[in-house]
Amino acid sequence: MRHFIKIIAFIAAILALVLAVTPLSNIALFPLLLAITLSILLYILSKKQDKSNKPVQYILLLSAVALGFMIYKSLFTEAIVKEEAQEEMNIKEQESQEESLKELEALDIDFE
């Protein structure tokens, strides 16, 4: 049981770290919480069995690094993306207005 929890916690911590570095950093919260929860459970089990706590420390270290990346990305990259998206929306709106004006000018409607 202890080995199974250790493996799942390591996988969750590594997955959280990988997702935190990619543009999908918001999704990294779920494996991060799983890794932290399993590391606490693993700590309790290893304390009862008088085993080493090194895996718990490594899992928590990976989780802390992933959390750091998530916080960094949420604070510094979101504003830039919003500004760029707003600029792209303005350009698309201008292009669509110009296209619709050209289409209206191309129509020859006689009012008789």
Looking at the predicted structure, is the pLDDT value of residue 32 above 60? yes
Q: H or E stretch including 108?
A: none
Q: What pLDDT, on a 0 to 100 scale, did the predictor assign at position 29? A: 92
Residue-number span of the structural domain to which 69 is assigned: 2-75
Portion of the chain with pLDDT greater than 90, in percent: 53
Residues in the chain: 112
Portion of the chain with pLDDT greater than 70, in percent: 93
The model's pLDDT over 33-72, given as tens digits with 9 standing for 90+, comes to 999 999 999 999 999 988 888 989 999 999 999 999 999 9
Q: What pLDDT, on a 0 to 100 scale, did the predictor assign at position 112? A: 59
- With respect to residue 98, please indicate whether it lies within any of the assigned structural domains: no
- With respect to residue 61, please indicate whether it lies within any of the assigned structural domains: yes
Distance CA 75, CA 87 (A): 20
**What is the count of structural domains for the chain?**
1
Average pLDDT value over all residues in the chain: 88
- With respect to residue 25, please indicate whether it lies within any of the assigned structural domains: yes
- With respect to residue 7, please indicate whether it lies within any of the assigned structural domains: yes
